[in-house]
Amino acid sequence: MEGKAGAAKTIRKDRRKTSFKGRFQVKKSFSLGQIAAHIDGKVDGNPSLVICGVASFDDASENELAFASGAKFVNRLHSSPAGAVIAPTNAPEGAKPLIRVQNPALAFARAAWLFVEEPPVTGIAKSAVIADDFVCGKEPSIGPGVVIGRGVRAGDRIRIGPNTVIGNNVTLGDGVCLNANVTIYHGCILGSRVIVHSGSVIGSDGFGYASDGLTLFKIPQTGIVQIGDDVEIGANNTIDRATFGKTLVGSGVKTDNLVHIAHNVTVGENAVLIAQAGVSGSTKIGRNAVLGGQAGIAGHLEIGDFAFVGPQAGIAKDVEAGAVVSGSPAMPHKLWLKVSRIISTLPQLRKQVGDMEKRLETLEGKAHGDGM
């Protein structure tokens, strides 16, 4: 988050003009002491200071709270325009009121939710088309144009955005939030508190065909997609149903936008898939693994737990647990850094080799001429 300060600065004036913030942050305030209690921090300054919102380090106003982590921000901690700053426990003292915590970014995220408007429960819109046998928990919010098929079961406090379509026999856990224009195919299972952003498609047919040598014959895709708890799926993702069994997305997984997950893939708990990454069929992504943006993973592979796959990497072999790999074809990231520096010097390398060859010929000629 801190790194965004530069970009944020450039749009600061515009932001002030539109004053849209009131729409998304509750117009209420907390004392620095109240916030510190909420995030298990220690106030360094006046605990009665009134805070009315949160903002980024360089863009906060005098009644807003920011945060600093990393030397870049901690070193200029007391120059932030913010009213107060969440800082590491060992941050230097100064004029600026602080809340000291172990993990400033996490504490800030928790503080930020204090100021976010809880959307109201809206009930079920008249224009939603819902099968008679829909089993739904308490306090649903189901928008206009939503279509829910037969045999669907949902937990409490689900939020379904307008024009989202839920196929037959889908199961949705408590607190599931499907934004507008989402599609969930029949039979898929979403755990509690799953968020799916607009345009994403869960449970489309896996890409499976048998060939007669010239034409392709569709293999029925009779499996499902099962998604664990606390998963967030970005916008315009595609997650295909399994041929048999399940495509599995573990609890805590977060996917960015335009991510592709093929049939029979398993994504381990808390894995992170950055925008436009793609995972081919039957591959297993380990828990807490990270796939960089536009990374591509071939089929039938194992990416180990806590592995880190760099952006645009092309993975054609298994990746060990904890490994950091980059490049296409992928290699250890440290090697890739060396290699990538050499790649741009290949013209010099080739010239150097050509020059050496001439010198070698000269030496050989002399050696021959000298009777060597």
- Residue numbers 147-186 binding a second copy by CB under 8 A: 147, 151, 161-163, 165, 167-169, 179-181, 183, 185-186
Give the H or E element holding residue 142: strand 141-142
CB nearer to a second copy: pick between 95 and 213: 213
Exactly one of 34, 45, 63, 109 binds a second copy (CB under 8 A); which one? 109
Cα separation of the two ends of the chain: 69
Exactly one of 37, 74, 275, 324 binds a second copy (CB under 8 A); which one? 275
Q: How far is the CB of 313 from a second copy (least distance, A)?
A: 9
Q: How far is the CB of 48 from a second copy (least distance, A)?
A: 25
108 lies in the binding site for a second copy (CB under 8 A):
yes
Burial (Cβ within 10 Å: 0-12, 13-18, ≥19) of residue 275 = middle
Interface stretch with a second copy, choices 28-36, 38-46, 92-100, 272-280 (CB under 8 A): 272-280
CB nearer to a second copy: pick between 47 and 332: 332
Task: Indicate left, alpha or beta for 39 from its phi (over 0: left) and psi (-120 to 50: alpha).
Answer: alpha
Q: How far is the CB of 163 from a second copy (least distance, A)?
A: 5
Q: How far is the CB of 92 from a second copy (least distance, A)?
A: 23
118 lies in the binding site for a second copy (CB under 8 A):
no
CB nearer to a second copy: pick between 72 and 138: 72
Residue 350 Cα distances to 300, 345, 363, angstroms: 38, 9, 20
6 lies in the binding site for a second copy (CB under 8 A):
yes
CA dihedral 282, 274, 230, 243 (to 10 degrees): -20
Q: How far is the CB of 364 from a second copy (least distance, A)?
A: 7
Instruction: Tell me, yes or no, if 333 is annotated catalytic.
Output: no
**SS3 label, residue 124:** strand
Rounded CA separation 191/237 (Å): 17
Contact 356, 367 (CB under 8 A): no
CB nearer to a second copy: pick between 94 and 219: 219
Burial (Cβ within 10 Å: 0-12, 13-18, ≥19) of residue 90 = exposed
CB nearer to a second copy: pick between 98 and 202: 202
Q: Which of 38, 78, 263, 333 does the annotation list as catalytic?
A: 263
Interacting residues with a second copy between 63 and 92 (CB under 8 A): none
Using DSSP bridges, classify how beta strands 290-291 and 308-309 pair: parallel, antiparallel or unpaired. parallel
- DSSP state string for 6-68: HHHHHTHHHHHHH--HHHHB-S--EEHHHHHHHTT-EEES-TT-EE-EE--TTT--TTEEEE-
Q: How far is the CB of 199 from a second copy (least distance, A)?
A: 5
Beta bridge partners of 4: none
Exactly one of 37, 74, 124, 125 binds a second copy (CB under 8 A); which one? 125
CB nearer to a second copy: pick between 180 and 321: 180
Active site residues: 263
